[in-house]
Amino acid sequence: MTRWTVHGTRPAFRSPWVEVWLDDVEQPGGHRFDHHVVKFPRPSVGALVVDGERTLLLWRHRHITDAWGWEIPAGWVEPGEDLAIAAAREAEEETGYRVGSIQPLLEYHPNSGISSMRYSLFLATEVVATGATADPAESSQVAWIPLADIPALARDGQIPDGPSLTALMYYLTVLPGPRARTP
């Protein structure tokens, strides 16, 4: 097995939101060049909120891709915050629902060819409405969507967000059981 060799790394751009680094890399075979690496200063989490045969999603617009779509609640982890607590907090802040149980679902690198980001997904259940309204800056609508509708929504491009697609498809296809439930 062969792997790339990193001879050094240096920052090209840094902000509180994103960093771009240049890694001096050498591929197997000897080709050496600067490779851009996108880093994020804080971990990212998402919560797949499930209640029976439905899931809680946000309908939102993303200006970067100029796309509307359904997404799971997600966001950054605050410094020193536990990943699971951050996912539960994001779910409540973005939807107005508090979760009573939160369990690890999946960790993965969403864009490993260019970014070091590690995304942590959680399964949130035992949901209770807080009476608070969701933050309008986060979404245009919060809705309970039947899990049976998710494949058609994905097929029709109405779930364009990678972490949301990953969480939903993992839940529906990888977890054990005819219709996956809390592991």
Question: What value does the mean pLDDT take over residues 13-30?
Answer: 95
Contacts of 71 by beta carbon, 8 Å cutoff, 6+ apart = 57, 58, 60, 139, 159, 161, 163, 164
Model confidence at 145, in pLDDT bands (50, 70, 90)? very high
Q: Which fold has domain 44-173?
A: Nucleoside Triphosphate Pyrophosphohydrolase (3.90.79)
Work out whether strand 19-26 and strand 5-14 pair parallel, antiparallel, or are unpaired: antiparallel
Q: What is the pTM of this model?
A: 0.89
Measured CA to CA, the distance from residue 110 to residue 118 in angstroms comes to 7
Tell me which amino acid residue 59 is.
Answer: W
Give residue limits of the domains in the chain: 5-39, 44-173
Model confidence at 130, in pLDDT bands (50, 70, 90)? very high
Contacts of 73 by beta carbon, 8 Å cutoff, 6+ apart = 46, 47, 49, 56, 58, 87, 90, 91, 93, 94, 95
The pLDDT assigned to 180 comes to 44
Model confidence at 176, in pLDDT bands (50, 70, 90)? low
The pLDDT assigned to 116 comes to 92
Q: Which two tokens stand for residue 76?
A: 């950054």
Measured CA to CA, the distance from residue 157 to residue 130 in angstroms comes to 31
Contacts of 155 by beta carbon, 8 Å cutoff, 6+ apart = none
Taking the CA of residue 52 as centre, how many other CA atoms within 13 Å lie in the half-sphere pointing to its CB? 4
The pLDDT assigned to 133 comes to 74
Taking the CA of residue 176 as centre, how many other CA atoms within 13 Å lie in the half-sphere pointing to its CB? 1
Q: What's the pLDDT tens digit per position in 33-86?
A: 999 999 999 999 999 999 999 999 999 999 989 999 999 999 999 999 999 999
Q: What's the pLDDT tens digit per position in 151-171?
A: 999 999 999 999 999 999 999
The pLDDT assigned to 93 comes to 93
Q: What's the pLDDT tens digit per position in 92-128?
A: 999 999 999 999 999 999 999 999 999 999 999 999 9
The pLDDT assigned to 45 comes to 98
pLDDT at position 178 over 80:
no
Model confidence at 131, in pLDDT bands (50, 70, 90)? confident
Taking the CA of residue 14 as centre, how many other CA atoms within 13 Å lie in the half-sphere pointing to its CB? 6
Task: Annotate 71-94 with b (16+ C-beta within 10 A) or e (fewer).
Answer: bbbbbebeeeeebbebbbbbbbeb
